[in-house]
Chain A
Amino acid sequence: RKEVEQDPGPFNVPEGATVAFNCTYSNSASQSFFWYRQDCRKEPKLLMSVYSSGNEDGRFTAQLNRASQYISLLIRDSKLSDSATYLCVVSGDSYSSASKIIFGSGTRLSIRP
């Protein structure tokens, strides 16, 4: 079993739709959680950190459920520019344990006009 699992997709949704991704992680001691976005042949860029209380940034909402060990990302009113691969990232079972930065394989999202 992978340490961070994501549905690879692709998700193909019309512009304006709401789309949600989930990600599960296996290490219950993980401390930090992120969603990164990666455009085709580009580097990953931080989209948002994920907190237990949930957090929202414009059309994007991230949630963390520690009990069930899953993280979600909700995109509302999707735009064509949201088309990308979304990477779930889990890290840190100790203060400086960089080796525990684990990437999911990514979920591909394609928004159609």
Chain B
Amino acid sequence: EAGVTQFPSHSVIEKGQTVTLRCDPISGHDNLYWYRRVMGKEIKFLLHFVKESKQDESGMPNNRFLAERTGGTYSTLKVQPAELEDSGVYFCASSHRTGWVGETQYFGPGTRLLVL
């Protein structure tokens, strides 16, 4: 079974540009999560989709970040315009069932974003 995949693996952009990250969850997983780890900090929750609906987006830092999951399959996270403090590793995770916080989340390899 294929795991969670993310694209691109790395992205280097200039401040003010736009970047779109993609996540393909494990097939059949209704729940999809985005997380971010900035340099020297812990991994932080950004948002949670159940199928195509945003269940919880309380972790999104500001309105420069837009996440979508059209059709309930893959998800995109767009940062527009990117700022220096957006640099970090963006992880996507998926889980199978109800989204209960006790169930296992499977993480993708992450996208390393560097904003110059």
Contact = CB atoms under 8 A, between A and B. Distances in A.
From A43, A100, A104, residue with most partner B Cβ within 10 Å: A43
B69 to A, nearest CB: 14
B2 interface: no
B44 to A, nearest CB: 7
Interface size band for A? 20 to 34
Given A31-B101, A45-B107, 6 more contacts: A43-B110, A92-B100, A96-B55, A96-B98, A98-B48, A99-B59
B101 A91 contact: yes
A109 B42 CA distance: 17
Interface string B71-110: 0000000000000000000010000001111101111111
Nearest to B42: A105
Query: Which 7 interchain pairs have the tightest Cβ spacing?
Result: A92-B101, A43-B107, A32-B102, A98-B48, A91-B101, A103-B43, A105-B42
Contacts of B7: none
B56 A31 contact: no
Contacts of A55: none
Interface of B: 31, 33, 35, 41-45, 48, 55-56, 58-59, 91, 98-102, 104-110
Contacts of B59: 99
Given A43-B108, A95-B100, A96-B101, A101 B42 contact: no
Contacts of B41: 105
Contacts of A102: 45
A87 B48 contact: no
A100 B101 contact: yes
Nearest to B59: A99
A104 B104 CA distance: 17
A42 interface: yes
16 contacts: A4-B42, A31-B102, A32-B101, A42-B109, A43-B107, A49-B102, A91-B101, A95-B100, A95-B101, A96-B98, A98-B31, A98-B45, A98-B48, A98-B101, A99-B45, A101-B33
Contacts of B102: 31-32, 49, 91-92
